Structure 1
Amino acid sequence: MLDLSPQQKAAVQHIRGPLLVLGGAGNGKTTVLAGKVAWLVRELDVNPTQIVVLATSVHATRELRRRAEERLGRKLPTLSVIGFAEFGLQLILRRFATLGLRPGFSLYDRADTEAVITRLLQESQSQVAALAGAVAEQIACWKRGFASPAFTTDSPDTSVASVAAWAYQRYEQRLLAANSIDLDDLVRKAVRLLTTDALLLSRWRDQIRFLLVDEYERTSACEHELVRLLAADGIALTAAGDDTRTVDTPALGPSDNLARLPTAIPNTRVIKLEQNFRCTGRIAVALSRIVGGAGGFSDVAPSYGARPGPPIRILQARNEQHEAEGIVAALTAHQARSGADYRDYAILFRDLDQAAVIERALRVSRVPYQLQGAPSFFAQSEIRDMWAYLRILSNPADDDAFLHALNTPRRDIGHATIERLTRFATTSGRPLLECALDPTFVKTLPPQPAESLRASVQLLVRLTERAAQSDPAEIVRDLLAELRYRDWLRDTCNDAKIAAQRMHNVTHVIDMLQRASRTQPEAGLRAIFTQLQLQALRHGAEDSADGVALLTFAAARGTEFAQQIYIIGFEEELSAATPSDTEIEALSERHLAYLMISRAREGVTFTISAQRRLGGALQTPRASRFLADLPPQDLQWISADTGQAFAENSLVNSTTYVDRGNHRSR
């Protein structure tokens, strides 16, 4: 532990009682957690199965495992480093009957939730059906916040809160009837089980000796309650969180959970990490200035023993294409000089739409890249098709999966038939699949829709009957053959290469089923699919190939890059607050800028464009007011044409003019 500061070493070796480690970005919190895992295993001979590490993101779990194994010098396959949702699902799988669930229950993501709420509103509150997305988000907020609607109503108005209050219990009833649970409920239901089942709680506490939690400032109220329940009876808790405050605004200060933890868990010791270990001196100063304005702020400490590092660069361009070309030219020149891997570079932007022009410039220069923050593998349409079939075969009560599967590929089952089936199922209180087989209902249909429905339902029934015994991969292959799914992709895709790629993705699902079957040869489709749902929760945990990381600001949280990061559009209208923003919104943008800059170890480049297309219109953005807070001597203005430094502002017009010396936007 020679590379640790005294505070870090004290945090690593603290094992008697709960501990809260506080520090800003780059202050060594992840190093403490990874170092603690390695120290416990190596020095105290703790069995890795007795250590649980929880985090709020896939990236954080991957990074924690990598660093812990790197410090220990060997792999830790039995160490549990997982997200809160996955932990909740693992716990629910042990007691799902207590929650009214049956074997093979489905797991709904946000798209599934929104689809259920859309149908619910269309059936009874059609005038507000367009609010389904906002209603789904409100319900998710209540669940994450360990709360319920403050009121109930049978006659909602047109506000999101009122419609969500009306829909909440009805949505829960739909989930239960469909033998399903949504992602936002995994931790909440796990807390409910631990609260009501003393034996289950005791067993989990017996299994865990050391509980480590990363990014505690990002935990929800449910996640905080889960930690509080587990961290008792001798379990040594170590939680790490970023308590960086933005100027003096309480609303953007330390998260409620950071403040609650010492009270919720008595005798919690607090260790503050005061120094920045990640960044160069100039970046550390920039972080201090960004957080606290031009006067700086004492909560962001200077870099620990680091050299000053290169100047912070502001790349000025004429337009977005010019900007992209300038970024790629600067990046490739730096990579050629340093010999670094491309994975040590990142390009950050607010919206995913901004990635297209950067991708084109990277492809032209044959620079490998990884677009992160884009829809995941499991969100691809063809994978959602397969997921729907796997869900209905594992859980015949899953109405959402049944409706998806019923017309994929599209058959002669029209909207009127589906509406009639839905009404019949609602009246009888039975799943759609069961009702579709009911002779009483079938007699109400015209001959052609009745035959199309019969053929589709019989296929599902045949495959469902095989699900318990047959090889899951074989079932899916037979399903694809009967559906002629490959032909359907070829017919519906405009490009043969796209169709082939989508079919390749489907084949990957079959491979996943095969691999899971080899490890559980006696398991049927239902058990295997449960494992795939767990895998979907931790998607993206595999190491990516070498390539420049393209990330949205949201996706960049928790990352760090050894060389350069490029922050696109450090402008009032895009990356900074606008004059019309409220004080809270402006401070939130300041904190976001702090988080983005802190991703870099070595160098930061901001870009400013004289023209940018925003909201479909060509605009002339203004340089960010936050540039005024940075020391002028630490800035270097460069041209996107040559990559060379020049007298500042020579490229910008009067709208983007930045006052020389003060760098203040006009």
Structure 2
Amino acid sequence: MADLLNAPQREAIRYLDGPLLVLAGAGSGKTRVITQKIAWLIDECDVAPEKITAITFTNKAAKEMKERAAKLAGARGEGLNISTFHALGARILRTEARHAGLKPGFSILDASDTGQLFQEMLRDADKLRIRMIQNRISLWKNAVVGPEEAAKIAEDELEAGAAKVYAEYERTLRAYQAVDFDDLIRLPVVLFENHDDVATRWRSRIWHLLVDEYQDTNRCQYRLMKLLTGARANFTAVGDDDQSIYGWRGADIENLKLLSEEYPALKVIKLEQNYRSTTRILAAANAVIGHNPKLFDKKLWSDKGHGDAVQVVACRDNEHEAEWVAARLQAHRFEHRGKWSDYAILYRGNHQARGFEEQLRAQKIPYVLSGGQSFFDKAEIKDITCYLRLLANSDDDPAFIRAVTTPKRGIGGTTLESLGTAAGKRHQSLFATIFAPGIEMEISAKPHAALREFGNFINRLEFR
């Protein structure tokens, strides 16, 4: 395999003398570098696989990296830690729940759960305001800013109001013994910064840390990486400042600059050979990205020849674009006697799919829409998951609300509102309030009986 690597790739794989930043242009073989480095650490440096941690951003990327590393390392790779940032954060919190002020069975709320919580807290606000407040709180969490600090730094009335909601939101999460996705990164950072012994213990578990798509890290993820590697700073960060597209959700391109400022010994290796595209395509790409503000200079090149000229088509609007694409597909397939499975349409966002679908249907072009609804986002899967969450943590109020109303039991919004008021007065969860003394005086007989029946059903499941 070493023969298939170019010189910068080999250098990146074998460099172990401190912090390393691999600037990997598009199509330059960055995943190969990460997986080959894992194999190199195990096979040539005798590093135990459980001492190697690789982090990426999506479950799909983590799965692919695991599969490729397993092929290279074989049985010797058993125990490798390859996951997303959020999965690593969840593992830290599960292991250190007591130090983090959580019960071992705490719940992790998904986007749907947190959206529901914000709607309950902001019943009189419109959807746009709720979304703005929720996004502002998420950005604060990604910057490791707590509610008190948020209130101090609020720059306008909206932010001041968001800071108050933030404080209420955090109290609610604590009452539910739950965390949201942002907490999976923020809370380990707070934990490590407040408990040096815990941070030291986790640092001792990681001999080398590899971070993929580093340009997409936010400030919180950068701090977690720094805390996990400590003064030894034995890490490999792979990224590309020209591919940073997640600034809207907190990704901070300045993290690349921070590396060179905070790690004077940082080694920078550039992967500039592109294995996917021809020279003409790369010339166009270099011309476009040449306008980007530059942290590091690099220029992609290829040995795949000049290739066909890049075609630029100006369309009037989205509808015209979809018409042109569908017509071009028809013409190209007719000319080359191709199969429909030989063609693909790529678009930036799901909102663009509808126009293409309409045109493909109109021109009777068969297609498969990739990346549809996630299995775990299906209603029936979320229903089952809520029951399991409630069994694991009876203080998980969002899970309780979904479970108690699925299937229908004659328990409606009025009953749940009364139960919520009673729970608030008693400072306990909705589930616990079902069995609270005197609750039958606050909820009418029929729904109260339905609540008790549901509560007993859950208890029977729990003790089986």
Q: Shared topology, TM-score over 0.5? A: yes
Q: Which amino acid aligns with 1:403?
A: I
Partners of 2:40 and 2:171 lie apart in 1 by 48
On the 8 A contact 2:219/2:252 being kept in 1, the answer is no
User: Using a 3 Å threshold, how does the CA distance of structure 1 residues 466 and 81 change in structure 2: closer, same or farther?
Assistant: same
More strand by share: 1
User: Using a 3 Å threshold, how does the CA distance of structure 1 residues 408 and 144 change in structure 2: closer, same or farther?
Assistant: same
Partners of 2:450 and 2:328 lie apart in 1 by 56
Partners of 2:335 and 2:461 lie apart in 1 by 58
Partners of 2:401 and 2:155 lie apart in 1 by 29
User: Which deviates further from its counterpart, 284-293 or 192-201?
Assistant: 192-201
User: Using a 3 Å threshold, how does the CA distance of structure 1 residues 218 and 302 change in structure 2: closer, same or farther?
Assistant: closer
> Once the 2 structures are TM-superposed, how far is the Cα of residue 467 of structure 1 from its aligned partner?
2.1
User: Using a 3 Å threshold, how does the CA distance of structure 1 residues 235 and 350 change in structure 2: closer, same or farther?
Assistant: closer
Counting only pairs closer than 5 Å after superposition, residues 2-401 of structure 1 correspond to structure 2 as 2-71=3-72, 76-122=77-123, 126=124, 131-148=129-146, 150-152=149-151, 159-232=157-230, 234=232, 236-244=234-242, 255-292=253-290, 299=297, 301-314=299-312, 319=320, 322-323=323-324, 325-326=326-327, 328-329=329-330, 342=341, 346-359=344-357, 361=360, 364-367=364-367, 369-372=368-371, 374-401=372-399
Partners of 2:138 and 2:265 lie apart in 1 by 33
User: Using a 3 Å threshold, how does the CA distance of structure 1 residues 345 and 190 change in structure 2: closer, same or farther?
Assistant: farther
Partners of 2:436 and 2:387 lie apart in 1 by 21
On the 8 A contact 2:215/2:243 being kept in 1, the answer is no
Percent of matched pairs sharing the same residue: 31
More helix by share: 2
Unaligned runs of 5+ in 2: 245-250
User: Using a 3 Å threshold, how does the CA distance of structure 1 residues 334 and 185 change in structure 2: closer, same or farther?
Assistant: farther
On the 8 A contact 2:404/2:454 being kept in 1, the answer is no
Correspondence 1:461 to 2:456: yes
Partners of 1:198 and 1:254 lie apart in 2 by 26
User: Using a 3 Å threshold, how does the CA distance of structure 1 residues 376 and 327 change in structure 2: closer, same or farther?
Assistant: farther
On the 8 A contact 1:245/1:299 being kept in 2, the answer is no
On the 8 A contact 2:55/2:211 being kept in 1, the answer is yes
Partners of 1:226 and 1:298 lie apart in 2 by 24
Instruction: Describe the SS at the equivalent of 1:54.
Output: strand
User: Using a 3 Å threshold, how does the CA distance of structure 1 residues 306 and 104 change in structure 2: closer, same or farther?
Assistant: same
User: Using a 3 Å threshold, how does the CA distance of structure 1 residues 63 and 75 change in structure 2: closer, same or farther?
Assistant: farther
User: Using a 3 Å threshold, how does the CA distance of structure 1 residues 55 and 66 change in structure 2: closer, same or farther?
Assistant: same
User: Using a 3 Å threshold, how does the CA distance of structure 1 residues 42 and 198 change in structure 2: closer, same or farther?
Assistant: same
User: Using a 3 Å threshold, how does the CA distance of structure 1 residues 234 and 445 change in structure 2: closer, same or farther?
Assistant: closer
Partners of 1:181 and 1:444 lie apart in 2 by 30
TM-score by length of 1: 0.61
User: Using a 3 Å threshold, how does the CA distance of structure 1 residues 401 and 73 change in structure 2: closer, same or farther?
Assistant: closer
Counting only pairs closer than 5 Å after superposition, residues 619-658 of structure 1 correspond to structure 2 as none
> What residue number does 1:434 align with?
432
On the 8 A contact 1:23/1:244 being kept in 2, the answer is no
RMSD of Structure 2 on Structure 1 (CA): 3.4
Q: Which amino acid aligns with 2:455?
A: L
On the 8 A contact 1:278/1:303 being kept in 2, the answer is no
* Count of residues in Structure 1 that have an aligned counterpart in Structure 2: 449
User: Which deviates further from its counterpart, 278-287 or 321-330?
Assistant: 321-330
> Once the 2 structures are TM-superposed, how far is the Cα of residue 209 of structure 1 from its aligned partner?
1.4
> Once the 2 structures are TM-superposed, how far is the Cα of residue 86 of structure 1 from its aligned partner?
0.3
Partners of 1:460 and 1:192 lie apart in 2 by 36
User: Using a 3 Å threshold, how does the CA distance of structure 1 residues 271 and 302 change in structure 2: closer, same or farther?
Assistant: closer
Partners of 2:263 and 2:459 lie apart in 1 by 48
Instruction: Describe the SS at the equivalent of 2:46.
Output: coil
> Once the 2 structures are TM-superposed, how far is the Cα of residue 223 of structure 1 from its aligned partner?
0.8
Counting only pairs closer than 5 Å after superposition, residues 511-526 of structure 1 correspond to structure 2 as none
On the 8 A contact 2:185/2:220 being kept in 1, the answer is yes
> What residue number does 1:402 align with?
400
Partners of 1:302 and 1:459 lie apart in 2 by 62
On the 8 A contact 2:143/2:220 being kept in 1, the answer is yes
Instruction: Describe the SS at the equivalent of 2:268.
Output: strand
User: Using a 3 Å threshold, how does the CA distance of structure 1 residues 459 and 335 change in structure 2: closer, same or farther?
Assistant: farther
User: Using a 3 Å threshold, how does the CA distance of structure 1 residues 425 and 456 change in structure 2: closer, same or farther?
Assistant: closer
Q: Which amino acid aligns with 1:35?
A: Q
Q: CA-to-partner distance for each residue in 1:628-657, whole Å, 9 max, x for gaps?
A: xxxxxxxxxxxxxxxxxxxxxxxxxxxxxx
On the 8 A contact 2:108/2:181 being kept in 1, the answer is yes
Q: Which amino acid aligns with 2:181?
A: L
Q: Which amino acid aligns with 2:12?
A: A
On the 8 A contact 1:288/1:298 being kept in 2, the answer is no
> What residue number does 2:248 align with?
none
> Once the 2 structures are TM-superposed, how far is the Cα of residue 172 of structure 1 from its aligned partner?
0.6
Q: Which amino acid aligns with 2:107?
A: S
> Once the 2 structures are TM-superposed, how far is the Cα of residue 189 of structure 1 from its aligned partner?
0.9
